[in-house]
Amino acid sequence: MLTKIDLSQIGKVVRDEVGEEVRPIKKDMVSLRQDMGGLKQDVKGLKQDVSTLKQDVGTLKQDVGTLKQDVGGLKTDMMVVKTDVGGLKQDMEVVKSEVGGVKLEMRRGFKKVRKDLSVVINFFDHEHLELQDRVRQLELRAGFNL
């Protein structure tokens, strides 16, 4: 049977051995607690980053919505411009047609004026020749020989 002293010594040996094994475990526990504190802070930082990213995504969605509206407006403007260009093309065709008609009328007018001038010039040439003949006849009667 074990005496009290033996039990006391056995307890002391067990405590020493357990203490030696517990000390590194305690150090590991302290280190793990510090690591957990760092991890908790990392998690908080990540949560803040996620929150910021969610806000950024919301802002980007709004920007995409605005861009879609802008594109829709530009498409509408483009259709208006296409319509205006089509109208201008039609107007240009009308103007070309009218200018062609005016040119044709001017040509006809110039031809008529030329014809009229030709008739007038021929008339005056004929009258001039007749007057020259009369003057010669009068000079001959009057006795002028020029």
pLDDT of residue 145: 62
Highest mean pLDDT: which range of 46-60, 95-109, 114-128, 132-146 = 46-60
Q: Is the pLDDT of residue 25 over 80?
A: no
Count other Cβ atoms within 10 Å, centred on residue 41. 10
Residue 20 pLDDT greater than 80, yes or no: no
Q: What is the pLDDT of residue 84?
A: 93
pLDDT at res. 2: 78
pLDDT, tens digit (0-9, with 9 covering 90-100), for 41-89: 999 999 999 999 999 999 999 999 999 999 999 999 999 999 999 999 9
Work out the mean pLDDT of the chain and round it to a whole number. Answer: 87
Lowest mean pLDDT segment, chosen from 14-23, 73-82, 90-99, 104-113: 14-23
Place of tokens 């930082």: 45
Report how many helices (DSSP H) and strands (DSSP E) the chain contains, helices first: 1, 0
pLDDT at 52: 95
The predicted pLDDT at position 50 comes to: 94
Residue 146's pLDDT band, with cuts at 50, 70 and 90, is low
